[in-house]
Copies of this chain bind each other. A is one copy, B any other.
Amino acid sequence: MTDMEFQLSAIIKCSGSLTGISSQEQTDFVQSCNASLLKKGAPSGGGAEIVRWNIAGEKIELGLVSDRYVRVHDALLRLKNELAKFLGKHRIGLRGAEIEDYQILMDWDEDWQLKKLPFVKQINQEGGRLKLSLDVDEFALANRIPDRIIKLLEDKKEAAKWKGKSEHWELLFESEKKPYYFDKDPTEEMAKRGWIRHAAGRGQFIYGPQITKIFRAFERILFEEIFTPLGYEEMIFPKFVTWDVWKRSGHAKGIYPEAYYVCTPKTRDPEYWEEVMDYYKVTNEVPLDMIMERIENVGGMCYAQCPPSWVFWQGKTMPDDILPIKVFDRSGTSHRYESGGLHGIERLDEFHRVEIVWMGTKEQVIEHSKQLQAKYRLIFEAILDIEWREAWVTPWFMAQEGKAGLSELKEVGTTDYEAVLPYSGKLLEFQNVSVNGNKYPKGFSVKLQSGTELWSGCSGVGLERWAAVFLAQKGLDQDKWPVKFRDVVGELPEVFRFL
């Protein structure tokens, strides 16, 4: 983004009339600012400049232009400090600045149209140039809103480049072909047998005793093969997630279309809610509009499981000798607003996941991700006997932030596990192992005593996804299952019969 230009018109209000200051004094001040103050830090020939300076009673009408160095909002700040000193000599104070106009002009050869931008009242995009008229006040300038708008434009260019391109995908491992014992959709078959029933919500099931026992067998395998031998301890992570957590984890950048939002009452005073209750009692309909007026959004339901756990370590410094840290959580549900239509248990709005988190130095975290991968291979090969493959892919947060450099991708990234569902021939991602680099420790300010950078990794075991793959390949009849897994599950309970 070269040839960037910034233009600012402002009126600076003072505490007294400025007419007593001589023209010469004013000219000297403006020239001195233009010569050094507004050029400091910029390459030769660059920086900002005062191009208009008129005094009218207690006001200064000011025009500033700049290139990308010492942008006009920075220039205004420098100028106000200098001006305060200058006017101080005349016993006049500064009252504040009113921003009349703020324009950004730059090269822009994207072939897609910008529609709307925050704090921008007019967008003019033609002939390879972009002109933005901003609607900003001093507070917005102090918050560096113009810089952030330019960062946003860079993000949008990057996202447009990515659009349509597939993410990085590199085969790491492929199991042998395995015999399939089933060619039906396991969700439909389970529903027929009364193992599951679609719940009242979208993409939500109620799990009966049989499939619950299978889920718990998966967990027992995790304990026996991973948690006990590798020294994991259980924790309980929160399941309601505040915006503050998602700001630190980065989810606040893009989670919106897929989130299940959580709102709390503006007050729990029963009188405030009486009208709602009365309306319900009289109509038997829940008055959703009346509710929306009485609640406020505070966050969402668990989406990625590990982010809210980081508050446990937030702002703390840990001694290096307790590393690597290995914990897991299986204390509740995750929720995603998935695309429409019925998908069965392989794509759900409400699902159950065991979340595995480890922390350490970069070397420890990478080393442990390899240990985990070896354990998973053992489970899929020797216990579940499924056909699967592993691929090295770009993790969501890197793609979204435009960090797709291959050099970083060698260490930070995600291994996806995919398996064929014979009934549809489609591949399903059924779990992942991610090395997240210093992303979370940085976001939540967690440090090591030695000053060494703390890294972390996470791995999500979706119980429904494991079941979807295993049952699709092996079927629902236990006599077709590998003996080792049958032994872990035990007998499937028969509790219900319906007429």
Residues of A within 8 A of B (CB): 116-119, 143, 145, 148-149, 151-152, 155, 197, 199-202, 204-209, 211-213, 215-216, 233-247, 252-254, 256-265, 267-270, 272-284, 286, 288, 291-292, 294-299, 301, 308-309, 311-313, 316-319, 322, 325, 327, 331-333, 335, 337, 339, 349-350, 352, 449, 493, 495-499
Contacts and interface: CB of A to CB of B under 8 A. Distances in A.
A119 B281 CA distance: 12
Contacts of A247: 284, 286
Contact of A256 (B148, B252, B261, B277): B277
A297 B308 contact: no
A279 B118 contact: yes
B273 A498 contact: no
Nearest to A332: B332
Nearest to A208: B235
Contacts of A350: 238-240
B291 A270 contact: no
A288 B263 CA distance: 11
B200 A118 contact: no
A261 B299 contact: no
Helix, strand, loop or mixed for chain A's interface?
Answer: mixed
B278 A312 contact: no
A386 B405 CA distance: 60
Contacts of A263: 260-263, 297
Contacts of A495: 233, 322, 325, 327
A283 to B, nearest CB: 7
In the complex, which of the residues A206, A282, A337 has the most CB atoms of chain B within 10 Å of its own CB atom?
A: A282
Contact of A240 (B245, B325, B335, B449): B335
A261 B207 contact: no
A351 B407 CA distance: 44
A197 B298 CA distance: 20
Contacts of A254: 277
Contacts of A260: 240, 262-264
Contacts of A497: 318-319, 322
Given A206-B309, A261-B262, A322-B497, A282 B233 contact: no
9 contacts: A149-B282, A200-B308, A206-B236, A207-B236, A256-B273, A260-B264, A264-B337, A292-B292, A331-B332
A231 B89 CA distance: 90
Contact of A339 (B209, B246, B268, B283): B268
A327 B206 CA distance: 13
Given A199-B308, A262-B261, A265-B257, A238 B204 contact: yes
Nearest to A204: B238
A199 B499 contact: no
A350 B308 CA distance: 13
Contacts of A319: 497, 499
Nearest to A495: B233
B245 A282 contact: no
A257 B268 CA distance: 4
B496 A325 contact: yes
B235 A118 contact: no
B118 A238 contact: no
A152 B333 CA distance: 37
Closest 7 CB pairs of A and B: A332-B332, A207-B236, A209-B233, A257-B268, A256-B273, A200-B242, A261-B263
A167 to B, nearest CB: 16
Contacts of A155: 281
Nearest to A325: B495
A274 B254 CA distance: 9
B297 A288 contact: yes
B253 A259 contact: no
B240 A283 contact: no
Contacts of A148: 281-284
Contacts of A288: 296-297
Nearest to A278: B118
A331 B204 CA distance: 14
A278 B150 CA distance: 11
A335 B309 CA distance: 18
A152 B278 contact: yes
Contact of A238 (B117, B201, B211, B322): B201
Contact of A498 (B207, B237, B316, B496): B316
A202 B352 CA distance: 24
A265 B301 CA distance: 13
Contacts of A325: 495-496
